[in-house]
């Protein structure tokens, strides 16, 4: 009787071991570090921040600044049905951030300041300290947010056109009303969960960011199409009259301004030194 029990137990163990350890089905892939992940995330975030600067300059300079002369208006409540307006530059960025959040690429993008119009956007803690250094040095800041496991970069957000200054100075809720051109008005914060990425992932990130810009601009076009008197959407820009460039035209102009710089940075990434894990330095 005892030997029968032993045999049965042994058989059960053997069957269990085969079920558990013999790779009849292929093993599930692990969330391991992607092969060839040698490009430091700082380099990646600098690239996307540069792209963001270019798209914002394009949107602010060619759409928001030129729009009012042809009765195209921009408002913080642009999505309200009663408001016939487009998104202000900060809200354009927020649209892009939302698109990024909905994408497969886990890249975070935020805009804040030490004097934000909405108090909820005021920097605190590590971000406030980093922003103080940005004000002093006018250079980006990189740090690892251990609590969230995010490699974080903050880039100065400069008042590049008069519209930024006048809008913030005249806004009823603005806590600072003496902004001047070229002031650092805030910072964009970018976050990613890896210290280094592969070339492939680098490209995926850039692609997602550009899709975010396209989505943000498309959201404006969709809103503009609902205006009582909608502008003509096509090849022309507000500088030429009551027109808005289509998303393709807008993105083509963006690519014309941004791509050479981005390609240079991609090539530089090939020769990038092994990524330094910022977390280790913290």
Q: Spell out the residues 6+ positions from residue 113 whose beta carbon is closer than 8 angstroms to its own.
A: 121, 122, 123, 131, 157, 185, 186, 187
d(CA 153, CA 141): 6
Kindly identify the residues of this chain, within the stretch 182-201, that bind other proteins according to CB under 8 A. 189, 191
Shorter beta-carbon distance to other proteins: residue 57 or 126: 126
By CB under 8 A, name the one of 54, 63, 134, 219 that touches other proteins: 219
Q: Spell out the residues 6+ positions from residue 174 whose beta carbon is closer than 8 angstroms to its own.
A: 115, 117, 168
Shorter beta-carbon distance to other proteins: residue 47 or 152: 152
The interface mask with other proteins, positions 91-120, x = CB under 8 A, is: ------xx--xx-----x-x-x------xx
- Does the protein bind other proteins through residue 79 (CB under 8 A)? yes
8 Å CB contact between 254 and 213: yes
By CB under 8 A, name the one of 60, 84, 113, 150 that touches other proteins: 150
Kindly identify the residues of this chain, within the stretch 45-64, that bind other proteins according to CB under 8 A. none
By CB under 8 A, name the one of 1, 24, 35, 267 that touches other proteins: 24
What region, left, alpha or beta, does residue 149 occupy, with left being phi > 0 and alpha being psi -120 to 50 degrees? Answer: left
In the bound complex, what is the minimum distance in angstroms from residue 210's beta carbon to other proteins? 19
d(CA 214, CA 250): 8
d(CA 37, CA 124): 32
- Does the protein bind other proteins through residue 35 (CB under 8 A)? no
CA-atom Rg of the chain in angstroms? 25
- Does the protein bind other proteins through residue 1 (CB under 8 A)? no
Give the footprint of other proteins on this chain (CB under 8 A).
19-21, 23-28, 30-32, 79, 81, 97-98, 101-102, 108, 110, 112, 119-120, 122-128, 145, 147-148, 150, 152, 172-175, 189, 191, 219
């Amino acid at each position: 009787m005892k030997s029968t029990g032993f045999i049965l137990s042994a058989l059960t163990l053997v069957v269990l071991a085969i079920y558990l350890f013999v790779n009849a089905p292929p093993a599930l892939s692990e969330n391991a570090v992607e092969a060839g992940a040698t490009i430091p995330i700082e380099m990646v975030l600098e690239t996307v921040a540069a792209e963001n600067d270019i798209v914002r300059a394009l949107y602010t300079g060619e759409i928001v600044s030129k729009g009012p002369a042809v009765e195209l208006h921009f408002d913080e409540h642009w999505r309200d049905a009663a408001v016939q307006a487009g998104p202000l530059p900060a809200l354009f960025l927020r649209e892009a951030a939302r698109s990024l959040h909905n994408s497969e690429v886990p890249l975070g993008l935020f805009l804040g300041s030490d004097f934000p119009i909405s108090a909820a956007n005021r920097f605190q803690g590590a971000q406030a300290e980093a922003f103080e250094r940005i004000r002093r040095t006018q250079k980006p800041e990189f740090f690892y947010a251990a609590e969230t496991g995010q490699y974080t970069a903050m880039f100065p957000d400069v008042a590049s056109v008069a519209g930024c200054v006048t809008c913030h100075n005249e806004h009823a809720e603005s806590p600072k009303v003496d902004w001047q051109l070229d002031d650092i008005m805030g910072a964009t914060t970018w976050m990613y969960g890896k210290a280094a990425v592969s070339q492939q992932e680098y490209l995926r990130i850039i692609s997602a960011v550009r899709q975010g810009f396209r989505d943000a601009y498309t959201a404006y076009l969709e809103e503009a199409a609902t205006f009582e008197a909608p502008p003509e959407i096509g090849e022309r820009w507000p500088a030429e009259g009551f027109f808005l460039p289509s998303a393709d035209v807008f993105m083509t102009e963006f690519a014309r301004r941004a791509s050479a710089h981005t390609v240079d940075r991609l090539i530089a990434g090939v020769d990038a030194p092994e990524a330094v894990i910022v977390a280790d330095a913290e």
